């Protein structure tokens, strides 16, 4: 192992020991990108120097944690997928029973709130049957999700994100650049901390969304994460993965595509 590799490993060990994050879950290319981005921000050139900054500065440990938890998300991220999901929600809610949906991971809540808003906005979906659980490993992301307040910034246009809805401003209270999700939307969603690698499996879901986490996960953990989500589904339950993700080899027989391009599948056994 070269000195550079050794210094990088020491940074990972420091993260493991003093930052509330498990580096071994994630692939090395991802960790390296996030750490390099923080090194540029702190103007340090080597992993050895960055390690010193990390040891000395609680602020840097917090900033690195923030950067590593990848909680990038949108309302209606990949709008084509949401249009393809609409008939699935219509069919599920026509079944005359409670429909249970799991958004895992949900980041700051925009994904489960998108489900709730779509259900309320589409007259062919019976929102009164729908119950959504949003889970994530990050308590900060969950606190944001429970608060349900989002801000338009230089890089995020919340009103544009809601553009798929017929009547977007019916589901948020808008004050200047701030958007608060309405109580009607919030009443369909509950949030809970859940680690998709370490925590117990769940069950009884008619639909699960597991989008934009598998791409960051080390290959050794992809299967356990995927199985946790897949096993939570009832027979015939639907699954959505991210647009750049695939069902891991070895699990493909258990799913048939409903809309392959939009990564919507149905559990067949
Ligand atoms: C990029 S976001 C995806 C959010 C949303 N599904 C989407 O596609 O917009 C990834 C989220 O995964 C969460 N996460 C990372 N590791 C996790 C784990 N082991 N269990 C549960 N959530 C995890 C992060 O906290 C982050 O909020």
In sign, the C-alpha dihedral spanning 98, 103, 104, 106 is negative
Measured CA to CA, the distance from residue 31 to residue 190 in angstroms comes to: 31
**Length in residues, the chain:** 269
The last residue of a domain, from among 46, 68, 90: 68
Q: What is the pLDDT of residues 208-231, one digit of tens each?
A: 999 999 988 988 899 999 999 999
- Output the CA 96–ligand 1 centroid distance in Å: 32
Residue 34, number of CB atoms within 10 A of its CB: 17
Per the structure, how many domains does the chain have?
2
Ligand 1 pocket residue status of 136, Cβ below 6 Å: yes
- Output the CA 220–ligand 1 centroid distance in Å: 17
The last residue of a domain, from among 68, 87, 122: 68
Q: Can you give the pLDDT at residue 166?
A: 93
The percentage of residues in the chain with a pLDDT greater than 70, rounded to a whole number, is 100
Same-domain status, 168 and 208: yes
Rounded mean pLDDT of the chain? 93
Is residue 166 included in any domain, yes or no? yes
With a cut of 90, say whether residue 4 has pLDDT above it.
no
Measured CA to CA, the distance from residue 230 to residue 224 in angstroms comes to: 10
C-alpha distances in angstroms, 6 versus 31, 51, 162?
Answer: 15, 12, 46
Contact 74, 189 (CB under 8 A): no
Residue whose CA is closest, atom 6 of ligand 1?
A: 211
Query: Domain holding 97: CATH number?
Result: 3.40.50.150
264 contacts: CB under 8 Å, gap ≥ 6: 81, 84, 85, 88, 238, 239, 240, 257, 258
Contact 203, 237 (CB under 8 A): no
The C-alpha R_g of the chain, in whole angstroms, comes to: 20
Ligand 1 pocket residue status of 76, Cβ below 6 Å: no
- Output the CA 105–ligand 1 centroid distance in Å: 4
Q: What is the pLDDT of residues 220-263, one digit of tens each?
A: 899 999 999 999 999 999 999 999 999 988 888 999 999 999 99
The last residue of a domain, from among 68, 103, 122: 68
**Helix, strand, or coil here: 150?**
strand
Ligand 1 pocket residue status of 210, Cβ below 6 Å: no
Ligand 1 pocket residue status of 8, Cβ below 6 Å: no
Same-domain status, 90 and 35: no
Same-domain status, 130 and 162: yes
Strand partners, 100: 131
Same-domain status, 119 and 10: no
Q: Can you give the pLDDT at residue 155?
A: 78
Contact 50, 35 (CB under 8 A): yes
Same-domain status, 169 and 216: yes
Same-domain status, 30 and 126: no
- Output the CA 71–ligand 1 centroid distance in Å: 6
Same-domain status, 61 and 100: no
Q: Strand order in 149-151's β-sheet?
A: 149-151, 178-181, 172-175
Which is the closest atom of ligand 1 to the Cα of 217? 16
With a cut of 90, say whether residue 149 has pLDDT above it.
yes
Q: Can you give the pLDDT at residue 3?
A: 79
Which is the closest atom of ligand 1 to the Cα of 210? 6
With a cut of 80, say whether residue 109 has pLDDT above it.
yes
Per the model's pLDDT, the better-predicted residue between 4 and 22 turns out to be 22
Same-domain status, 206 and 225: yes
Out of 27, 106, 136, give the residue to mutate to test ligand 1, the one with the largest number of ligand atoms within 8 Å of its CB: 136
Ligand 1 pocket residue status of 23, Cβ below 6 Å: no
Helix spans in the chain (H): 3-18, 28-42, 47-56, 58-68, 79-93, 110-121, 139-147, 158-161, 183-186, 219-230
Which is the closest atom of ligand 1 to the Cα of 77? 9
Is residue 73 included in any domain, yes or no? no
With a cut of 80, say whether residue 1 has pLDDT above it.
no
Same-domain status, 46 and 95: no
For residue 39, what are the domain limits?
Answer: 3-68
The percentage of residues in the chain with a pLDDT greater than 90, rounded to a whole number, is 77
Same-domain status, 85 and 205: yes
- Output the CA 72–ligand 1 centroid distance in Å: 8
Band the pLDDT of 206: cuts 50, 70, 90.
very high
Same-domain status, 19 and 97: no
Q: Can you give the pLDDT at residue 219?
A: 87
- Output the CA 184–ligand 1 centroid distance in Å: 25
Same-domain status, 147 and 222: yes
Q: Can you give the pLDDT at residue 16?
A: 85
Is residue 113 included in any domain, yes or no? yes
Q: Can you give the pLDDT at residue 143?
A: 96
Q: What is the pLDDT of residues 18-72, one digit of tens each?
A: 887 888 888 999 899 999 999 999 999 999 999 999 999 999 998 888 888 777 8
Is residue 74 included in any domain, yes or no? no
């Amino acid at each position: 192992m070269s000195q550079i590799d050794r210094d990088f490993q020491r940074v990972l060990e420091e993260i493991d020991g003093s930052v509330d994050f498990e580096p071994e879950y994630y692939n090395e290319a991802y960790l390296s990108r996030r750490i390099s981005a923080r090194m540029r921000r702190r103007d340090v050139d080597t992993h050895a120097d960055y390690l010193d900054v990390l040891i000395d500065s609680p602020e840097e440990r917090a900033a690195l944690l923030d950067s590593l938890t990848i909680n990038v998300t949108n309302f209606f991220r990949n709008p084509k997928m949401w249009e393809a999901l609409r008939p699935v929600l219509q069919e599920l809610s026509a079944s005359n029973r409670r429909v249970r949906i799991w958004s895992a991971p949900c980041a700051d809540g925009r994904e489960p709130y998108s489900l709730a808003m779509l259900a309320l906005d589409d007259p062919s979906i019976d929102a009164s049957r729908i119950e959504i659980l949003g889970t994530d490993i990050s308590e900060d992301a969950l606190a944001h999700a429970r608060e349900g307040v989002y801000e338009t910034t230089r890089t995020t246009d919340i009103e544009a994100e809601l553009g798929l809805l017929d009547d977007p401003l019916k589901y948020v209270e808008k004050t200047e650049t701030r958007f608060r999700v309405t109580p009607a939307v919030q009443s369909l969603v509950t949030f809970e901390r859940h680690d998709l690698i370490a925590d117990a499996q769940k069950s009884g879901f008619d639909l699960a969304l597991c989008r934009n986490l598998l791409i960051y996960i080390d290959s050794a953990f992809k299967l356990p994460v995927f199985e946790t989500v897949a096993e939570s589904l009832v027979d015939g339950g639907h699954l959505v993965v991210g647009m750049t993700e695939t069902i891991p080899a070895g699990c493909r027989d258990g799913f048939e595509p409903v809309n392959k391009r939009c990564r919507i599948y149905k559990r067949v056994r």
